[in-house]
């Protein structure tokens, strides 16, 4: 297996290759299969999920609004989109480290536990009646912050954001229905399905829960190693290694380039890729925070170090949109022009022929944007 094949396999298993059997019939099914999908850039995650399902934005927004999927902070202190029935147990499994780190920063913001408790009471009082599962409108973030201000909690200077992350990370709240340009805040106890905590789903068995999340990661991201999964979740390798035997019979394994560790992938992936290699090597336009780029610690399999510096300027965590061909990032892209007259602005990192540019133009015309 060379680097190009590795990327082609990942494109295939992530449902980005035309006619792949990894494509999902519903947005909820796709999100559940991935376990979690990077969601800090909301238009980006909407596009990522649309590209892996019907290609349309509407079903993704509907999945948020009807409560089938939500956003939260299940791991790494980062926003992810997850199936509603998975948010509680995944967060309880993976978020302990970020919660502790946030608590250590709280005094620097002039906050203490009394502020957290008061903020929770205000939010629940505001959101409870608007969090009827699948029907409630939730509360826009700005309204939450204004309610906190009225209750004597200053949300400026990062305090409002800190408190909201804390309440979502500890299971008090979640980002729920689509509200026009954001996902509104809901009372998690009302909005999320019953029976979805770590103790209810796995009887509190963290190894069993880790095994389930590992299975989903391998089947949606593989070929990938246990260390890739440890980076993605920040779970301890000792727990992950204890979990592997629980799912090892349901995955395939072997070596991958540039890594001495064994990699794992879903059964049948190799045969599927080789039967449809041409599809996996076609042009792709991805949003800025797509799992194909952000789902692994080593992104240089997709590009050289110099190109990575262009994709992530200053390595500051802000990702430009990637244009991919034959398993390599060949440029970054954005759109220019006024609403209704948008056009592709492609910045090549290598030579792009007129025919290739035309194919990128077609992808751009069909790209699932959430706004005109």
Q: Report the alpha-carbon distance of residue 84 to residue 16 in Å, rounded.
A: 23
What pLDDT score was predicted for residue 315?
73
What pLDDT score was predicted for residue 371?
80
Burial group, residue 294, by CB count within 10 angstroms (0-12, 13-18, 19+): buried
Pick the closest to residue 60 from 17, 31, 86, 84 (CA basis): 31
User: With pLDDT > 90 as the criterion, what percentage of the chain qualifies?
Assistant: 89
Structural domain boundaries in the chain: 23-195, 205-265, 284-365
pLDDT in tens, 114-131: 999 999 999 999 999 999
84, containing H or E segment: none
Residue 22 pLDDT class (50, 70, 90 cuts): low
Residue 192 has pLDDT above 60, yes or no: yes
Residue 20 pLDDT class (50, 70, 90 cuts): low
Sheet containing strand 284-285, edge to edge, reads: 284-285, 321-325, 328-336, 343-348
Q: Report the alpha-carbon distance of residue 30 to residue 52 in Å, rounded.
A: 7
Q: Report the alpha-carbon distance of residue 117 to residue 125 in Å, rounded.
A: 12
User: With pLDDT > 70 as the criterion, what percentage of the chain qualifies?
Assistant: 98
Beta bridge partners of 348: 331
What pLDDT score was predicted for residue 19?
56
* 205-265: CATH architecture: Orthogonal Bundle (1.10)
Average pLDDT over residues 325-331: 96
Residue 27 pLDDT class (50, 70, 90 cuts): very high
Q: Report the alpha-carbon distance of residue 318 to residue 320 in Å, rounded.
A: 7
Least confident range of 184-198, 256-270, 338-352: 338-352
Residue 179 has pLDDT above 60, yes or no: yes
User: And the tokens for 64?
Assistant: 């948020």
Average pLDDT over residues 183-207: 97
Q: Report the alpha-carbon distance of residue 264 to residue 214 in Å, rounded.
A: 10
Q: What is the mean pLDDT of the chain?
A: 94
What pLDDT score was predicted for residue 341?
82
What pLDDT score was predicted for residue 242?
98
User: And the tokens for 180?
Assistant: 């026009």
Residue 338 pLDDT class (50, 70, 90 cuts): confident
DSSP 76: T
Q: Which residues are within 8 A (CB) of 210 and not within 5 positions of it... i.e. 6 or more apart?
A: 93, 235, 239, 240, 242, 243
Q: Report the alpha-carbon distance of residue 127 to residue 340 in Å, rounded.
A: 36
Q: Report the alpha-carbon distance of residue 303 to residue 305 in Å, rounded.
A: 7
Residue 23 has pLDDT above 90, yes or no: no
């Amino acid at each position: 297996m060379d680097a190009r094949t590795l990327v082609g396999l990942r494109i295939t298993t992530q449902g980005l290759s035309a006619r792949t059997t990894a494509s999902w019939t519903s947005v909820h099914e796709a999100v559940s299969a991935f376990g979690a999908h990077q969601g800090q850039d909301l238009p980006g995650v909407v596009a990522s999920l649309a590209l892996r399902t019907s290609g349309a934005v509407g079903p993704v927004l509907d999945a948020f609004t009807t409560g089938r999927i939500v956003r939260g902070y299940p791991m790494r202190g980062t926003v992810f989109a997850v199936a509603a029935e998975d948010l509680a147990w995944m967060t309880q499994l993976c978020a302990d480290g970020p919660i502790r780190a946030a608590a250590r920063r709280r005094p620097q913001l002039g906050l203490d536990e009394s502020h957290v408790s008061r903020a929770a009471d205000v939010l629940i009082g505001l959101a409870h009646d608007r969090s009827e599962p699948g029907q409630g409108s939730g509360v826009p973030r700005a309204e939450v912050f204004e309610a906190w201000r009225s209750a004597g909690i200053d949300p400026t200077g990062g305090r409002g954001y800190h408190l909201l992350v804390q309440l979502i990370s500890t299971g008090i709240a979640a980002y729920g229905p689509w509200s026009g340009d954001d996902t509104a805040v809901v009372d998690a106890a009302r909005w999320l399905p019953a029976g979805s905590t770590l103790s209810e789903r796995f009887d509190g068995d963290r190894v069993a829960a880790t095994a389930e999340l590992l299975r989903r990661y391998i089947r949606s991201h593989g070929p990938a190693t246990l260390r890739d999964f440890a980076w993605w979740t920040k779970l301890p390798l000792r727990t992950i290694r204890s979990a592997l035997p629980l799912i090892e019979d349901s995955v395939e394994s072997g070596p991958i380039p540039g890594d001495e560790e064994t990699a794992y992938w879903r059964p049948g992936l190799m045969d599927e890729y080789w039967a449809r290699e041409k599809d996996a090597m076609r042009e792709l336009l991805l949003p800025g925070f797509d799992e194909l780029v952000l789902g692994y610690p080593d992104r240089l399999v997709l590009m050289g170090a110099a190109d990575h510096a262009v994709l992530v300027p200053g390595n500051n965590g802000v990702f430009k949109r990637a244009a991919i061909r034959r398993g390599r990032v060949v440029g970054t892209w954005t759109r220019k022009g006024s609403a209704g007259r948008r056009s592709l602005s492609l910045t090549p990192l290598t030579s792009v022929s007129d025919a290739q540019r035309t194919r990128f133009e077609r992808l751009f015309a069909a790209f699932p944007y959430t706004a005109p």
